[in-house]
Amino acid sequence: MSPDVVVIGAGVSGLTTAVCLAEAGMSVRVDTDDPVGATTSAAAGAMWDPYLAEPSDTVERWSRVTLSELVALGIDEETGIRIVEGTQESRIPCAMPVWSGLVGGCLCAPENLRRGFVTGWRYRAPLVDMPRYLDYLARRLAKEGGSLRRHRYSALEQAMREAPVVVNCSGTGARQLANDPAVEAVRGQLVVVENPGIESFFCDGTPGAEELTYIYPHARTVVLGGTSDRGNWDPSPDEEATRRIVARCATVEPSIAGARILEQRVGLRPARTRIRLTEEHHQGRLLVHNYGHGGAGLTLSWGCAREVTERIRRVIAPAT
């Protein structure tokens, strides 16, 4: 039997959307080219951090919705989410971001800043072990009767023959699949090391910094970042980039220098000038796009998924 909805993509956008739709009572199948563990989402750091995404008014709303979902889910260890305290620090004076109030942000005393940093702020936010979290989402979807299938589409029309409603969460794949040249890969690499005892996260928030530096401690591992390379579609890790990431992070947190490297991860952030969350009607069928989240796909996931669900509900079950 064909499902009510086919969701293309099993990254954080696709799986979260599928969970929302299934929990709203629809039968859902997720079709994905890559296995869940090989998506960009599985490679991410990942923290709730609403940076650099447009349109800014809706991004703020989607980020807020996601923050409260992730905080609530963080109570259950099985989700892979923990609420972690840490600092964002800058090498030049700058103000706290507008969203700092949402995460209890307060300025650091100058004597508590790391060497070389002149300002900083401390806050608590969701830190997500992405491979575990994606597994949790897939289990939650299965519990509602949703299914997951390995399948690659070469055109959206093919998917629209499979179900009356299709949601396109194909990340960078949308460049080809939706014939959208506005989608570009921003390659990101990070390094996973054994945790030498780090409990707080650190992020270099220096405006205009040439390189990314962040340290995200999970229970047994630490994720070290990172790189941001626009237009680079190479999915394989670069040893030199790994060496530089570890060296940068060890400058801030010396215990990292001797930590054993467990993994190098690469993902292609689906960048677009504006996130595409729009709907189209084709011969009685509904196509909703949900892609282009750049470096903030986790941060926006629940907000976008709920909006997609509302739009679909309005069309297939109009209020009487």
Ligand X SMILES: Cc1cc2nc3c(=O)[nH]c(=O)nc-3n(C[C@H](O)[C@H](O)[C@H](O)COP(=O)(O)OP(=O)(O)OC[C@H]3O[C@@H](n4cnc5c(N)ncnc54)[C@H](O)[C@@H]3O)c2cc1C
Three-class secondary structure of residue 86 per DSSP: strand
Look at residues 203, 173, 187 and name the one whose alpha carbon lies nearest to residue 238.
187
Question: Is residue 295 near ligand X by the rule CB under 6 A?
Answer: yes
Q: Which tokens belong to 52?
A: 């650099």
What's the rounded Cα separation, in Å, for the pair 180 and 119? 40
Least spacing, CB of residue 153 vs ligand X, in Å: 4
Residue 115 has, within 13 A of its CA and on its CB side, a CA count of 7
Least spacing, CB of residue 308 vs ligand X, in Å: 12
Rule CB under 6 A: choose which of 3, 45, 86, 146 binds ligand X: 45
Contacts of residue 80, Cβ cutoff 8 Å, sequence gap at least 6: 128, 129, 130, 131, 132, 133, 135, 136
Residues contacting ligand X: total by CB under 6 A: 42
Rule CB under 6 A: choose which of 122, 248, 289, 293 binds ligand X: 293
Least spacing, CB of residue 83 vs ligand X, in Å: 15
Question: Is residue 170 near ligand X by the rule CB under 6 A?
Answer: yes
Q: Which tokens belong to 181?
A: 């040249």
Question: Is residue 298 near ligand X by the rule CB under 6 A?
Answer: yes
Residue 191 phi/psi, 5-degree rounding, is: -125, 135
Question: Is residue 86 near ligand X by the rule CB under 6 A?
Answer: no
Question: Is residue 269 near ligand X by the rule CB under 6 A?
Answer: yes
Three-class secondary structure of residue 118 per DSSP: coil
Question: Is residue 40 near ligand X by the rule CB under 6 A?
Answer: yes
Mark the segment that binds ligand X (CB under 6 A) among 109-117, 163-171, 233-241, 311-319.
Answer: 163-171
Question: Is residue 32 near ligand X by the rule CB under 6 A?
Answer: yes
Question: Is residue 43 near ligand X by the rule CB under 6 A?
Answer: yes
Number of Cβ within a 10 Å radius of residue 170: 29
Rule CB under 6 A: choose which of 177, 193, 252, 256 binds ligand X: 177
Closest CB to ligand X among residues 56, 112? 56
Question: Is residue 44 near ligand X by the rule CB under 6 A?
Answer: yes
Question: Is residue 272 near ligand X by the rule CB under 6 A?
Answer: no
What's the rounded Cα separation, in Å, for the pair 124 and 103? 6
Question: Is residue 303 near ligand X by the rule CB under 6 A?
Answer: no
Extended strands (E) in the chain: 5-8, 28-32, 81-90, 106-107, 119-128, 147-150, 165-168, 184-194, 201-204, 214-217, 221-225, 229-230, 261-271, 276-282, 285-291
Beta bridge partners of 85: 124
| Helix, strand and coil in the chain, % to nearest 5 | 35, 30, 35
Binding mask 210-229 for ligand X (x = CB under 6 A): ----------------x---
Q: Look-up: residue for tokens 């189209």? A: 280
Mark the segment that binds ligand X (CB under 6 A) among 19-27, 101-109, 245-253, 295-303.
Answer: 295-303
Residues 119-158 that bind ligand X (CB under 6 A): 152-153
Rule CB under 6 A: choose which of 6, 7, 14, 204 binds ligand X: 14
Question: Is residue 188 near ligand X by the rule CB under 6 A?
Answer: yes
Rule CB under 6 A: choose which of 12, 59, 178, 308 binds ligand X: 12
**Which residues bind to ligand X, rule: CB under 6 A?**
8-14, 31-34, 39-41, 43-47, 49, 152-153, 169-173, 177, 188, 190, 226, 267, 269-270, 291, 293-299
